[in-house]
């Protein structure tokens, strides 16, 4: 066997099954999405074997895109787990043949509960297909398995139609990035959309700040002790008037032979960059990139003159925002 040639054949068979499936999408698909949209409970996936494994993934995709969903094993269901089911739930039952015994056994229970039923089958004339309120045709011309036995192209098609349902429903619900972030608080997107500057900024004794009259020998100590490579400079009223960075120190060493005895006001850079404390941490990253800097002073709100903290690029890196 030519391994590379065989791999390409498998991928082409599965790709063609998806293209064929796309051509069969019609108003029936819209009806299925409408049933899911009107669902007042949860979406419950059911299936046996490989169809069950695909059903678990589809349930997970629904849940992560704003539609409460879970997988219910039909064999376990008839042995007590149907207690998980509520009348408001919509069921999606998956069976390539449409004659899976365990699914057919639960049909009377589904009808008794009064649940709406969406079926995904490879045989539109099967018992399961006829029992559904809506049936989506997931048939494939051939499996990628050369024996035509192992579910391959058929499971790929099923997974894809599940994704299509979830994403179409996501759009109908106007599910946004912010909603996704709430459901994925530990992910990179969640951190970018949920973390604010005030969650990461340095305040109190860890906030480097000196007065404009401070001698540079003390200013250098402030910079090194706070370990941020920078210090703010304020006037007698506590207003931020400048910043001293490592770069300012290098330039000052070239300019002044008596640097230690110079005042901070002689070395500082005026009009330091800043950000509001309730701004998203991702906005702080954007502003740092815009000005090619590694820190921003933080104010309660625009127009304030007294800073309440400072945020450094390292803090954003550690938090996974960058």
Please check whether residues 171 and 229 belong to one and the same domain.
no
Instruction: Based on the fold, state whether residues 167 and 261 are members of the same structural domain.
Output: no
Regarding whether 160 and 52 lie in a shared domain, the answer is yes
Residue 191 belongs to a domain? no
Q: What is the pLDDT of residue 41?
A: 95
- Does 34 share its domain with 72? yes
34 is a domain residue: yes
- 9 and 146 inside one domain: yes
pTM score > 0.75 for this model? no
- Do residues 164 and 273 both lie within one domain? no
Query: How many domains is the chain partitioned into structurally?
Result: 2
Q: Using an 8 Å Cβ cutoff, are 300 and 308 in contact?
A: yes
Are residues 161 and 250 both part of a single domain? no
Can you list the residues of the chain whose pLDDT is less than 70?
80, 177-194, 322
Q: Say what the pLDDT of residue 179 is.
A: 62
Side-chain-side CA neighbours of 85 within 13 Å: the count stands at 28
- Is residue 146 a part of any domain in this protein? yes
Q: How many residues belong to the chain?
A: 322
Same domain, residue pair 208 and 268: yes
Structural domain includes residue 188: no
96, 122 contact by CB (below 8 A): yes
Do residues 134 and 268 share a domain?
A: no
Domain that holds residue 233: 197-318
Contact at 8 Å (CB) between 191 and 284? Answer: no
The answer on 46 and 10 residing in a single domain is yes
Give the chain's end-to-end CA distance (angstroms, integer): 46
Can you tell me the distance from the alpha carbon of 44 to that of 46, in angstroms, rounded to the nearest whole number? 7
């Amino acid at each position: 066997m030519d391994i590379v040639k065989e791999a390409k054949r498998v991928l082409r068979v599965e790709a063609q099954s998806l293209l064929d499936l796309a051509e069969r999408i019609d108003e029936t698909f819209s009806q299925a999405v409408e049933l899911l949209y009107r669902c007042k409970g949860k979406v419950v996936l059911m299936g046996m074997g490989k169809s069950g494994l695909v059903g678990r993934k589809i349930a997970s995709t629904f849940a992560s895109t704003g539609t409460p969903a879970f997988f219910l094993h039909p064999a376990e269901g008839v042995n007590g787990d149907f207690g998980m089911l509520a009348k408001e739930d919509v069921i999606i039952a998956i069976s390539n043949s449409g004659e899976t015994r365990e699914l057919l056994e639960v049909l009377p229970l589904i009808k008794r509960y009064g649940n709406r039923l969406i079926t995904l089958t490879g045989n539109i004339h099967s018992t399961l297909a006829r029992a559904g309120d809506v049936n989506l045709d997931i048939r494939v011309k051939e499996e990628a398995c050369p024996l035509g036995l192992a579910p391959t192209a058929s499971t790929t098609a099923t997974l894809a139609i599940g994704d299509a349902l979830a994403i179409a429903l996501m759009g109908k619900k106007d599910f946004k990035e912010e909603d996704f972030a709430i459901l994925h608080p530990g992910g990179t997107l969640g951190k970018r959309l949920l973390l604010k500057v005030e969650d990461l900024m340095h305040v109190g004794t860890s906030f480097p700040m000196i007065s404009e009259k401070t001698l540079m020998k003390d200013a250098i100590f402030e910079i090194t002790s706070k370990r941020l490579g920078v210090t703010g400079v304020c006037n007698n009223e506590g207003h931020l008037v400048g910043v001293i960075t490592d770069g300012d120190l290098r330039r000052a060493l070239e300019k002044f032979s008596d640097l230690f005895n110079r005042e901070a006001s002689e070395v500082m850079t005026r009009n330091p960059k800043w950000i509001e404390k309730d701004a998203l941490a991702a906005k702080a990253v954007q502003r740092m990139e815009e000005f090619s800097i590694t820190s921003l002073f933080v104010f309660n709100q625009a127009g304030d003159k007294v800073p309440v903290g400072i945020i450094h690029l390292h803090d954003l890196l550690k938090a996974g925002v960058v």
